[in-house]
Amino acid sequence: MAALSYPPFFALQRITSTDANANAFFVRSRPFVPPWPRLRRRRCAPALVAVASVKENIGRVQKHFTDFTSLNYWVVADYYRLVNSVNAFEPQIKALSDEQLAAKTSEFRRRLARGATLADIQAGLLLFYAVASLLVSSLNCFYDRIVINVSEAFAVVREAAWRKLRMRHFDVQIIGGAVLHDGSIAEMKTGEGKTLVSTLAAYLNALTSEGVHVVTVNDYLAQRDAEWMGRVHRFLGLSVGLIQRGMNAEERRINYRCDITYTNNSELGFDYLRDNLAGNRDQLVMRWPKPFHFGIVDEVDSVLIDEGRNPLLISGEASKDAARFPVAAKVAELLKQGTHYKVELKDNSVELTEEGIALAEMALETNDLWDENDPWARFVINAIKAKEFYRPDVQYIVRDGKALIINELTGRVEEKRRWSEGIHQAVEAKEGLKIQADSVVVAQITYQSLFKLYPKLSGMTGTAKTEEKEFLKMFRMPVIEVPTNLPNIRKDLPIQAFATARGKWEQVRREVEYMFGQGRPVLVGTTSVENSELLSGMLWEWNIPHNVLNARPKYAAKEAEVVAQAGRKHAITLSTNMAGRGTDIILGGNPKMLAREIIEDSLLSFLTREDPNVELAGEAISQMVLPKITVGSSSMALLAKTSLMAKYVSKSEGKSWTYQKAKSFILEAIEMNLSYSLEELEKLANEESETYPLGPTVALTYLSVLKDCEEHCLNEGSEVKRLGGLHVIGTSLHESRRIDNQVGNC
């Protein structure tokens, strides 16, 4: 019992989670019994148990009373008037043909041209109107007119989503869309469908043709949402653009002119800065003079709070002292800590001793390190800082001959950021890389300043209520908690505190080992790349196969695929707190991604000879733990036929596609099943033509393989539910609060 007196320097949160919409149960079916010794406890007397039960019931009543008296409760209750209006429109909208439904967009735009305006459904005003209508009937009529305008548009989007995606907005998602349209932040729990919610507000605000930006945290999510949700907008006659890294100015200009543009926060910020540095109008890529109209920020707390003060910088060359950095790095290797210099970890400062100054001056053949005509002190001190404070795979990684910064908060690589005041050059010299010229800041802006430029801004996330005061103060955006579609049955277990970091990580390792023995999938969230590597090393020592997701390129290359399969039996996933964010985890595995992987494994070797150049640590062992599923005989026959056809097409037509081009072709072929019916695909595949109809054949094969994958994932998901579901471990108090953003649609 003496150990209990130690201060809780390190904390571990054990969480079992659930998503009520998917009926995925993660509440333990029996108490967690670790395989290591435990202290004996005294049995509680029945009277104490009864008292605890009474206290629990009282606490539950107090919580319901608090919810009832909160402003959020009444705001959400008032939004249900809009929901009722949208539901009333549904039968009328369902009766429309596809052409008539798509024509609604032109009808709405004609109304706007005649002087109508987009109605702002401000929740606070709705409550006022509801009360005032009891006294003044005209106000109630005004309220009804506002709701009908918006609810009709929402009903159109709901029906379009059902026809194109087979996804129908729940009532709570309608509320989420209204919150976004109001310029507020919708806090929605993981798995409640925030991506689908964004289509409502994006469509409504795009009707003015002034441009809507849907901002995500990375290129993958921007591309996924543009392709996925873009089907709804394109069906309704809106143009959809996508901004990605590597696009030229003309491509960016075309995509920014679209009604709805999907991008990530970094690309948006740098495009704005480059436009401000442009010499003439022909170099501009955004919509000027009004580049910003309405923005929807996904993971808004991460973009505007966690990374909100990080400046985006555009630099220009300032000095030609690149040759000094390698020399200073050699001198820093000669100097020893304690003898030649002292370091202060608190502020990352370095102070040279008399012995260190003398040795440095002798090595550099100078009489004064601080000589104005020949200054060496700054270079030597920066070289020592690079040696002591900047470690590879922790603060930075080396990729393609460049030192790239790792964001300490997200664990992601920041390819467009560089340390200032010569630190980055000192790191490059330490690693023996080509020294990039020192730079001076030409233009800069923070995310918080950038997004304040939007006349109307909204956001969505799973965790924003704790930062509501900051959102209100800086952006005047309230946070509205949108209720879950079904009651939440997630269970949070007590926090465990440890006196040492070693004890914490050993506990995590033992708990992962125990869950792995049961076959239960585990997701471990870490706050840094260093911690994920540390835990990974401990697990490999105990022969526990797992996947790691952090900033290192060999892991990030298949980030989405790994996270999507994190719900499979025996899956162990270690992730920094941003890796895979936005990707759904489904118990038993994601059948669509599994089917796509099977198709790619069968065809890529025939369509391209290019090496994918993707290194995955422990790939062989991971395949043993998460084996590729066995498909049925009919699917095997179709795979063989498709492979033979791909081999013939590649040989006869002389196709020499790159690896990426071949993957894009397979993806486009798979997506044909969204545009064609089964009968149409079979007709296309059987048509006689000069070249083999590879695309339709791939689509038919995918449908057959997908059916087998869905059956496998359903059976495995049921078994995982029986074991207790996905076990989530957050390795710090901050991490456990945000772990919801990684669990996905379980």
Which segment of 132-146, 482-496, 536-550 scores lowest on mean pLDDT? 132-146
Reading the block at residue 402, the tokens are 């460049």
**How many whole angstroms from its chain centre is CA 535?**
23
DSSP 302: I
Task: Give how far Cα 379 sits from Cα of 321, 369, 389, Å.
Answer: 10, 10, 15
The one-letter amino acid at 156: V
Neighbours of 704 (CB within 10 A): 18
Neighbours of 62 (CB within 10 A): 10
Nearby residues of 46 by Cβ (< 8 Å), 6 or more positions away: none
Quickly state the pLDDT bin for 628 (edges 50, 70, 90).
low
Spatial CA neighbour of 145 closest among 171, 118, 180, 109: 118
Reading the block at residue 476, the tokens are 């005047």
H helix count then E strand count, the chain: 31, 20
Distance CA 519, CA 510 (A): 14
3-state DSSP assignment of residue 696: helix
Angle between helices 324-334 and 423-430 (to 10 degrees): 70
pLDDT tens for residues 644-685? 888 877 777 666 677 777 887 888 888 787 677 788 888 887
- Main-chain dihedrals φ then ψ at residue 261, nearest 5 degrees: -120, 125
Quickly state the pLDDT bin for 5 (edges 50, 70, 90).
very low
Which segment of 118-127, 175-184, 253-262, 666-675 scores lowest on mean pLDDT? 118-127
* pLDDT surpasses 60 at 539: yes
Q: DSSP per residue over 713-732, as a string?
A: HHHHHHHHHHHT--EEEESS
CA 566, 567, 568, 573 dihedral sign is: positive
Distance CA 193, CA 482 (A): 11
CB 158 within 8 A of CB 168: yes
* pLDDT surpasses 90 at 158: yes
Reading the block at residue 722, the tokens are 């029986």
3-state DSSP assignment of residue 320: coil
**How many whole angstroms from its chain centre is CA 528?**
16
CA 170, 463, 306, 445 dihedral sign is: positive
* pLDDT surpasses 50 at 194: yes
Give me the residue label for tokens 């501009």.
284
Q: What's the pLDDT at 691?
A: 53
Residue 200's Cβ-count burial label (10 Å; 0-12, 13-18, 19+) is buried
CA 637, 639, 640, 642 dihedral sign is: positive
pLDDT tens for residues 209-244? 999 999 998 787 888 889 889 999 999 999 999 999
